[in-house]
Amino acid sequence: MSDGIQDKFKPAWSLQNWEAFDDVLYSALSHEHERQATGLELIASENYVSKRVLEACGSLFTNKYAEGYPGKRYYGGCTYYDQVEQYAIDLAKRLFDAQWANVQPHSGANANLAAYFALLEPGDTLMAMSLSHGGHLTHGSPVNLSGKWFKSVPYGLDVNHRIDFDQVRDRAKTHRPKLIVCGATCYPRTIDFEAFSSIAQEVDAVLMADIAHIAGLVAGKAHPSPLPHCDVVTTTTHKTLRGARGGLIMGCREDVGVKIRKAVFPGTQGGPLMHQVLGKAVCFKEALEPSFETYASQIIKNAKALAEGLMDRGFKVITDGTDNHLIWVSLLDRTTLDGREAESRLEEAGITVNKNTIPDDPRSAMITSGFRLGTAACTTRGMGESEMGAIADWIAQALSSESAEQLNRIRCEVKILCASFPIY
Ligand code: DSN
């Protein structure tokens, strides 16, 4: 590799102080920098935040407790925390056209927990997409609190791997859930929030959308908004939304907003992570820029190009394409290749993906018969449809050969591409 390319991977900030401080931490930090800079990030839930978000999350806002809410804190010295949290709330409301927003949830799982705590009693019925068809652990999985404390009724996909609305309606009428969750962690198609809303109204259920994956697409007007169709909307802030790692809850119904406020604090959390709230404010402001709409639509163009590229090279893409950032590949037709082996081989080649079960997968979640890809991170680097062709080629080559030489050759080509699209 020429020195010119090596130069492009120099850390954007000095790690010298770390080297003198601790070998283990310095090594992990510098190697992770190298991994992110020289490799292709195709995990559908990951992204690269701006330097300003990084600065916010590493700022002295980490030094302060601010239990409570703006103007009603349990600690002194919160003047600037009130300003930042209120500003973050206002920006989130503008971004998603919401009447209220709560920016304190530490994560998407915490946001969902707070929503359940606000809207359900233990033993109530919760209906959501089954984990094995693309739902999330917190959507009623038996190993999660949501499946242990509530009666969980799953719905799933039809034979074409689209949300089976007939099943959603039938099960809703049979089980009369108090809460229906729409939203997924692995679903490559547009979610029809209006259709969910009409079913929720038929059975008098509260409707919650978990838009963790597609929040950036919604903010960038590249996916229909769940508001005002849903009573409450939860999300993470770090996937397609490209912000500080954390959660957010919002909605239009004031009565629900009041319950959520109490359920986040003091119901399920203590002190908010105010450095992360600062980072969320930065991300909301960035997502309100007109350029974010271009970003959101490019994510989808790239995902469509990558899905086409993979199908052209013989891969079975579930639903034969995508409407969003996510591509779901089935390896069921490849008897000698499972999701775990695909993930590991691609990692050797400098391409990070995650193994993922496919609907009704005969293999366990640790092995799987598929993998999941997403284009939010490589779009942030500035890559476009033409780069997706090269990426599809490398994926096909890496998965057709176990040869270390071949994987090394792809690793070098990936590095050369990444050098033209620096992360910072
Ligand atoms: N871990 C997230 C994802 O990868 O989709 C869901 O929580």
Query: What are the structure tokens assigned to 365, written together?
Result: 């979640």
**Which string of DSSP letters, residue by residue, matches 64-80?**
----EETTEESSS--HH
Name the residue of 143, 213, 324, 353 to mutate for ligand 1: max ligand atoms within 8 A of Cβ: 213
Whether the pLDDT of residue 4 is over 90: the answer is no
* 144 ligand 1 Cβ < 6 A: no
**Which string of DSSP letters, residue by residue, matches 123-158?**
T-EEEEE-GGGT--TTTT-TTSHHHHSSEEEEE-B-
* 357 ligand 1 Cβ < 6 A: no
What is the tens place of the pLDDT at every residue in 113-158? 999 999 999 999 999 999 999 999 999 999 999 999 999 999 999 9
pLDDT at 6: 65
pLDDT band at 16 (very low <50, low <70, confident <90, very high): confident
d(CA 171, CA 155): 8
Strand pairing of 125-129 and 179-182? parallel
Give 45 Cα–ligand 1 centroid separation in angstroms: 6
Q: What is the DSSP letter of 371?
A: E
* Mean pLDDT, rounded, of the chain: 96
245 catalytic residue (yes or no) = yes
Query: Are 244 and 107 contacting, i.e. CB atoms less than 8 angstroms apart?
Result: no
Q: What is the DSSP letter of 418?
A: H
* 45 ligand 1 Cβ < 6 A: yes
Whether the pLDDT of residue 398 is over 60: the answer is yes
Atom of ligand 1 nearest to the CA of 236: 7
Q: What is the pLDDT averaged over residues 78-93?
A: 98
pLDDT at 399: 97
The H or E element containing residue 210 is: strand 206-210
pLDDT at 338: 98
Whether the pLDDT of residue 1 is over 50: the answer is no
pLDDT band at 222 (very low <50, low <70, confident <90, very high): very high
pLDDT at 279: 98
pLDDT at 11: 65
What is the tens place of the pLDDT at every residue in 344-377? 999 999 999 999 999 999 999 999 999 999 999 9
Given the residues 8, 26, 52, 67, select the one marked as catalytic. Answer: 67
75 catalytic residue (yes or no) = no
d(CA 176, CA 226): 22
Query: What pTM does this model have?
Result: 0.96
Give me the phi and psi of 72, to 5 degrees please: -140, 70
Whether the pLDDT of residue 42 is over 90: the answer is yes
Give 44 Cα–ligand 1 centroid separation in angstroms: 8
pLDDT at 12: 64
Query: Are 284 and 95 contacting, i.e. CB atoms less than 8 angstroms apart?
Result: yes
Q: What percent of the chain has pLDDT over 70?
A: 97
d(CA 257, CA 263): 10
Q: Which of 258-262, 339-343, 400-404 has the lowest mean pLDDT?
A: 400-404
Q: How far is the CA of 276 from the CAs of 3, 81, 263, in angstroms?
A: 37, 11, 19
Give 277 Cα–ligand 1 centroid separation in angstroms: 20
- Nearest in space to 211 (alpha carbons), one of 321, 328, 304, 325: 325
Give me the phi and psi of 83, to 5 degrees please: -60, -45
